[in-house]
Chains A and B, each alone.
Chain A
Amino acid sequence: MAADSYDDVAKNKESIPALEVAPQDLYHAKSFWTKYIFCQDAKVIGIQYALTAAAIGMVGLVSSWLMRMQIAFPGVIPMDAAAYYQLVTMHGMIMVVYLLTALFLGGFGNFLIPLMVGARDMVFPYVNMVSYWVFFLAVLILAASYFVPGGPTGAGWTLYPPQAITSGTPGGDGLGIVLMLVSLAVFVIGFTMGGLNYVITILQARTRGMTLMRLPLTVWGIFTATVLALFAFPALFVAGIMMTLDNMLGTSFFMPAIVEFGERLSYDGGSPILFQHLFWFFGHPEVYIVALPAFGIVSDLISVHARKNIFGYRMMVWAIVVIGALSFIVWAHHMYVAGMNPWFGFFFATTTLIIAVPTAIKVYNWVLTLWRGNIKLTIPMLFSIAFIITFVNGGLTGLFLGNVAVDVPLSDTYFVVAHFHMVMGIAPVLVILGSIYHWFPLITGRFLNEKLGRIHFWVTFIGSYSIYFPMHYLGFMGVTRRYFEVFESDNFTYSITGINQFITVAALITGAAQFLFFYNIIVSSKFGKKAGKNPWKACSLEWQTEDVPPTHGNFGKELPVVYRWAYDYSVPGADEDYITQNTPPNAVANAKAEQT
C-alpha cells in the first residue's frame, strides 16, 4: 500500500512497504562450475577480479624491486638495458591498468555496488560474468608477452611511437608490442561490458527510497569513474589499433619518415604527437578512474570510524562530478614539452590548476570530518589518515608539474616519478589496504588480525613515504627518469648514490611487509576473530544483509527500504551513535532528523 502524498506519510507512522515489482530473475547456480568459476553472482565476480588483479600485481611489484636493485646496486641482479626497460614498462602498465583499474572497478565495484544500492545483483549478470573472463584473457595475453622471442615490450607504459615499434626498443620488432596492444584492446572490451553493469545498476536498480543523494560516496566514486571509463577507454582502443596497424601492416598513422640505424624505413607522413594526444586523452581520465573510487571509499572509511557524517556531502558529490568532467580537458599537461603548439600550454596549464580546486575541497572536507568527530583509531582509520597525508603531498607536487613553465625543468625527471607514485601508487593503495581491513568482516565474517595489521600499516605508511618523498629532490637536481644506469654528474650538488640506495632499501622493506598482509588474509579467513553482523556499526546497506557473508540475492526475501541518507552518525537525541539507512522513522525515538 503506497502512500499517495507527503501528508499521508506524516500521518501514517508505519514503514513504507518494499518495492512491489517482480523480483529480479537471478540465475541460481547449481554445479561447482557455475557456483565458483562461471559464476554470475557479482560478489564472486568481484573476488575473481580482485584475486586476478592481485596476482598480476605481484608480478608488477616484483618488477619494481628488480628495477630498484638495478638503480641502487647495479650488477647484484644481472640484467641488461633491454631487460630493465621491459621491467619498467610491464611494471607501469600492470600497476595502472591491470591492478588498480581492475581492482577498483571490477573488484570493489562488483562486490559493493549491488549491496550498497540495495539490489540483489548487477542488472546484466551474464554479461558481468563474461566481462571477468575477458579481463582474465587480457591478463593471459599480457603474460604471454613474457614468453615470446624478444620478450615483452620495453617501450615504457606510455608506449610512444616511433620507439615502441622500432628495433631499438625491446619488443619493438617482435611480438612483444603486439601482445601488449592486443591485451589492452581486449581489456577495453571487457571493461565496457563491466562498466555497462556498474553504471546501469547504480542508475536503475536501486531499492525504494534510495535517491542518488542517499548513495554512499563509495558508489558515487565508482560510478563517476565508470562514466569516465566509458568516454576514455575508446581513445586507448583507437590508439592501440592504429599502432598495431602501423607495426604489422606498415601503415603510417603515427610513423613519420625516419632513418633508423642508417636504414630508411618505409613509413611516411604520420604524427607521433597524434598518438600522444590519443593516449593522454585516455591517460589522464585513467588516473581519475583510479583516484575517484579511492576518494569515495576513503570518505566512507573516515565517516564510519570517526562516527561522524562526511562533512559537506553535497560538495563532495559535486567535487567528484566536476573533477570527472574537468579530467577531459587537461590531458596535454603530459605533453608540455612534447613539441606541440606552445599556445596549448597556456590553456592546459589553466585547466590543470583549476582542477586543483575541487580536489582541495575534498581534502578540506575529509579533514573537517575528523574535526569534532569521535575518532576510533582502527586500522581502516589509520590507513585513511595516511591517505590524506600522502594524497595531499602528491596532489601538491602536481601543482608544480601542472604549471607549464615549472614543468619544463622537471618533466621526465624523478620529480614526475615521485609525484605520480605518491598520488597514484601510495595514496589509492593505502585506501585499498584500509578498505580490505574494513570490509573483510563482511566478505568472510571474520576480522583480520589486529596486531599484524598495525605492524603492516606502520611499515607500509612510513616505508612508502620514505621511498617517494626524497625522490622529489632527485628530480630537482635534474636526474632523468628511465635511465638504466644512474647518471652521477659532476655538476650535481651532492652524490645521488646514497639516496638511491636508501630508497631501494625502503622499497624492499615496504614490499616485504605486504607478505604480512597476505599471510593475515589467508590465516584470518579461516581462524580470524568472528565479527558478527555490522561490527563497525555502519549505516550503509551492505552491512544490513540477513546473512554475513551475504549470500546469493544479498538481502533475503525482501529488499530493504531506505529511509535516510548514508551518514546518520551521532544523530543528536538518538540512542545509538548510528542509524542504519533502512531503519524506519518510527523505530528511532526522538531523533532530530525525524522531527517535522
Chain B
Amino acid sequence: MIVALLVILVTIGSVIFHMWSPWWWSDIASNWVGMDNTIILTFWITGAVFVAIGLFMAYCIWKYKYNKNNKAEYEPENSKLEWFLTIITTIGVIALLAPGLIVWNNFVTVPKGAYEIEVVGQQWLWMYRLPGKDGVLGTTDIKNINDDNPFGLNTNDPHSLDDILIDADDLHILKDQPLKLNLRALDVLHDFYVPQFRAKMDMVPGMITYYWFTPIKTGTFEILCAEYCGTGHYAMLGYVIVDEQEDYDEWLSEQMTFEEILASNGKSDLIKLALNKKND
C-alpha cells in the first residue's frame, strides 16, 4: 500500500514540480520559437507516458499484492497487445520527430540576404569581425596570426582591409535582421551560445562552422561557451547587445577597421604592400 502510494507520489510530484517550477527558460529573444514549441509538445507526449506508466504500476502494486493462496496469471505473451503498443509508440515517435525535423531544416537553411559576421573563439575570450563597407568578410589563414594581426587576416585580400575588428569588447547586433554567424576557433573546440537565442554550434579549429538566427528583442545577453575548452572554460564569458537601428549605427561608426588598426599601430607599410598587390 505504502509502496503504491509512494510511486503515485513520485509520479504526480514530478508533474507538480514541473508545473510549479520557477526554474524555467527565460523568454526567447530570437526567431527559434520552433525549438521551444517542439519542447513543449515533447513534454505533453512524454509527460502523458510517464504518468500513465507510473499510475498503472502503482495500481498493479496495490491490486496484485502477494497472497499465497493466489497464483499469478500464466500468459507468456499477447502478440495483439504487443503489436498494438508498438504501433501507438511509433505514432508517438513520429509525432515528435516530424516537427523536430522541420525546425532542423529551417535551422540549417540560411535565408538569402542574411548578414554574415564572424565570431572567433580562443582560450578564453571572444573576438568578432564584421564585413565592413564591401559587405564581404576577408579570408584568413592561421599562418598569418601574430600580435599585429590577431585575426590572421590575409593582407593581400582586398576584402580584409575594411573588415571591422572587435577585440576584447561586446558585440552589438541589429534587431530583426537575420544574422549568420561564421564560427572559427584558433586553438581548441569552443561553442558560442546565448541561452535566450537558443541556437548554438561548436567552433572547430581547422574548419568554419555556422548557424543563423534573427534577434527579436533588444537587450544585453550573456554569451556562454558551451564546449569544454580547458581550465578557463567557465570564465569565457561575453556580452552581445541587440540594438535598434539608431543605436546600432552609432555603435558601428565607433568601430575601427583592420586598415585603421594597422595604421594606428604604425604598420602602414603593410597596407601599402597590400594595396600594391591589389593594383597588380
Q: Which residues of A contact B (CB under 8 A)?
A: 80-82, 85, 154-156, 160, 162-163, 166, 168-170, 172, 256-262, 264, 269-273, 306-309, 311-315, 337-339, 342-343, 345-346, 349-350, 353-354, 356-357, 360-361, 363-365, 367-368, 370-377, 382, 385, 388-389, 392-393, 396-397, 399-400, 403-406, 408-409, 411-413, 462, 465, 469-470, 473-474, 476-478, 480, 482-485, 487, 489-494, 496, 499, 567, 569-572, 577, 592
Structural contact, B74 and A260, CB atoms closer than 8 A? no
A474 touching B23, Cβ below 8 Å: yes
Q: Chain A residues with Cβ under 8 A from B188's Cβ?
A: 162-163, 166, 168-169, 258, 260
Selected interface stretch from B111-119, B160-168, B202-210:
B202-210
Contact A496 B93 (CB under 8 A): no
- Contact between A393 and B50, CB atoms less than 8 A apart: yes
Complex partner residue of B228 from A160, A396, A572, CB under 8 angstroms: A160
Q: Which residues of A contact B97 (CB under 8 A)?
A: 349-350, 353, 403
Q: What residues of B have a CB within 8 angstroms of the CB of A469 in the complex?
A: 14, 17
Contacts of B78 in A (CB 8 A): 311-312
Partner of A314, one of B71, B77, B191, B228: B77
Bound: A24/B203 CA distance, A: 58
Query: Range of interface residues on chain B?
Result: 35 or more
Give chain B nearest CB distance to A422 CB in angstroms.
Answer: 12
Asked if B251 CB lies within 8 Å of chain A CBs, one says no
Residues from chain A with a CB closer than 8 A to the CB of B227 are: 160, 412
Contact for B145 among A264, A337, A375, CB less than 8 A? A264
Closest 10 CB pairs of A and B: A478-B195, A256-B206, A168-B230, A308-B72, A342-B108, A405-B103, A403-B100, A339-B209, A396-B46, A483-B234
Q: How far is the CB of B146 from chain A (nearest CB, A)?
A: 9
Chain A nearest CB from B156 CB (Å) reads 19
Query: Which of A170, A365, A470, A496 lies in contact with B82, CB distance below 8 A?
Result: A365
Assess the B76–A313 pair: CB atoms within 8 A.
Answer: yes
Given A406-B39, A470-B23: A257 touches B86 (CB 8 Å cut-off) = no
In the complex, the number of residue pairs spanning A and B with C-beta atoms less than 8 Å apart equals 336
Complex formed: what's the CA distance from A273 to B203 in Å?
11
Which residues of chain B from 193 to 245 have a CB within 8 Å of any chain A CB?
Answer: 193, 195-196, 198-207, 209, 221-222, 224-235, 237
Contact partner of A272 among B38, B81, B189, B191, CB < 8 A?
B189
A400 touches B39 (CB 8 A): yes
Contacts of B22 in A (CB 8 A): 493-494
Q: Which residues in B have their C-beta under 8 angstroms from that of A357? A: 86, 89-90, 93
Residues of chain B within 8 A of A370, CB atoms compared:
57, 60-61, 64
Chain A CB within 8 A of B21 CB: yes
Q: List 6 A-B contacts (CB under 8 A).
A: A259-B142, A306-B64, A315-B82, A349-B104, A385-B61, A392-B54
Q: Which of A80, A385, A570 sits near B3, CB closer than 8 Å? A: A385
Cα A413 to Cα B76 in complex, Å, equals: 43
Instruction: Give every chain B residue within 8 A of A396 (Cβ-Cβ).
Output: 46, 49-50
Q: Are A337 and B75 touching (Cβ within 8 A)?
A: no
A592 to B142, CA, bound (A): 78
Judge whether A168 and B74 touch: CB under 8 Å: no
Please tell me if the beta carbons of A311 and B75 are within 8 angstroms of each other in the complex: yes
Q: How far is the CA of A493 from the CA of B237 in the complex (A)?
A: 19
Compute how far the CA of A413 lies from the CA of B21 in the bound complex, rounded to whole angstroms. Answer: 18
Q: Which residue of A lies closest to B234 (CB)?
A: A483
- Flag B176-195 by CB within 8 Å of A: 1 or 0 each: 00000001001111010101
Q: Pick the contact of A405: B57, B100, B147 (CB < 8 A).
A: B100
The 8 Å CB contact of A476, one of B23, B70, B81, B107, is B23
Do B234 and A163 touch (CB < 8 A)?
Answer: no
Question: Smallest CB-CB separation from B18: which chain A residue?
Answer: A473
A577 and B199 form a contact (CB under 8 A): no
How far does the alpha carbon of A438 sit from the alpha carbon of B57 in the complex, in Å? 21
